[in-house]
């Protein structure tokens, strides 16, 4: 739960949750973010274990810069959506097989058979997981005597991230859903979360980019 409350996580997920009018969607967004985050941690941890090495600092910084770029992108998209918001909210058009489907909300999911997977929270979680994988695996490898203990530690950390973010975004989903029924409040919410994400991404990414490229 503590990890889920970190500012970069809140900045990214807030721009995702505000896109939905159903409070239950908040739980799904947070859980999928956690799944993506945990998958990245386990994948990087496994690779480093097999190679018997640690994550190079340059690559770790590049992952951190990727998060900053993602925050700026998410923030800019939310600001754009706030300007385009119609009286009934944004609409998206996509295909269910041969059927063209249009509904309120954003086209941020993919259909696989009868199942619907939200792609954006998964991708955001993956990027965050990559950025945090270096420090977490270094901690696990330095303090855990066996591979089983290391992966148990990373797995439990990932599970906590899934549950913590799902609970957090689920609680936030109820007031956000009520606010989104009002066009002015919905636009203000999108603009506020977008501006926060964009500014935080620039503030965080600038020193990393300067260290990497200058």
User: If you write DSSP's letter for every residue of 22-82 in order, what string do you get?
Assistant: -HHHHHHHHHHHHHHHHHHHHHHHHHHHHHT----HHHHHHHHHHHHHHHHHHHHHHHHHH
Closest CA to 109 of 127, 96, 128: 96
Distance CA 204, CA 196 (A): 12
Q: How many domains does the chain have?
A: 1
User: Within a domain: residue 23?
Assistant: yes
pLDDT at 92: 56
Q: Which residue has the tokens 């739980």?
A: 27
User: Within a domain: residue 93?
Assistant: no
Give pLDDT tens digits for 174-203: 777 777 677 788 788 888 888 999 999 999
User: Within a domain: residue 96?
Assistant: no
User: Within a domain: residue 95?
Assistant: no
pTM of the full structure? 0.79
User: Within a domain: residue 39?
Assistant: yes
Domain range for residue 177? 3-88+102-213
**Are the beta carbons of 191 and 201 closer than 8 angstroms?**
no
User: Within a domain: residue 94?
Assistant: no
Report residue 184: phi and psi, to 5°. -65, -45
Where helices occur in the chain by DSSP H, the ranges are 7-17, 23-51, 57-84, 119-143, 147-179, 183-213
User: Within a domain: residue 167?
Assistant: yes
Give pLDDT tens digits for 62-120: 999 999 999 999 999 888 888 876 544 445 555 555 665 655 554 455 454 544 556 77
Degrees to nearest 5, angle at CA 17 with 13 and 21: 180
């Amino acid at each position: 739960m503590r990890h889920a409350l970190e500012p970069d996580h809140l900045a990214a997920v807030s721009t995702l949750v505000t896109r939905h009018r159903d409070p239950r969607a908040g739980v799904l967004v947070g859980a999928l973010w956690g799944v993506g985050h945990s998958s990245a941690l386990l994948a990087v941890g496994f690779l480093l274990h097999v190679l018997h090495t640690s994550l190079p600092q340059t690559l770790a910084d590049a992952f951190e810069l990727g998060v900053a770029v993602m925050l700026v992108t998410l923030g800019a998209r939310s600001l754009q959506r706030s300007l385009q918001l119609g009286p009934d909210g944004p609409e998206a058009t996509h295909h269910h097989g041969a059927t063209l489907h249009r509904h309120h909300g954003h086209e941020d999911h993919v259909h696989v058979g009868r199942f619907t997977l939200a792609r954006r929270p998964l991708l955001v979680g993956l990027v965050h997981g990559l950025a945090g994988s270096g420090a977490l695996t270094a901690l696990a490898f330095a303090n855990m005597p066996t591979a089983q203990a290391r992966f148990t530690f990373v797995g439990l950390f990932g599970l906590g991230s899934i549950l913590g973010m799902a609970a957090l975004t689920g609680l936030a989903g109820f007031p956000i859903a009520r606010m989104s029924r009002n066009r002015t409040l919905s636009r203000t919410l999108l603009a506020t979360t977008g501006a926060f994400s964009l500014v935080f991404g620039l503030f965080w990414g600038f020193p990393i980019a300067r260290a990497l490229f200058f």
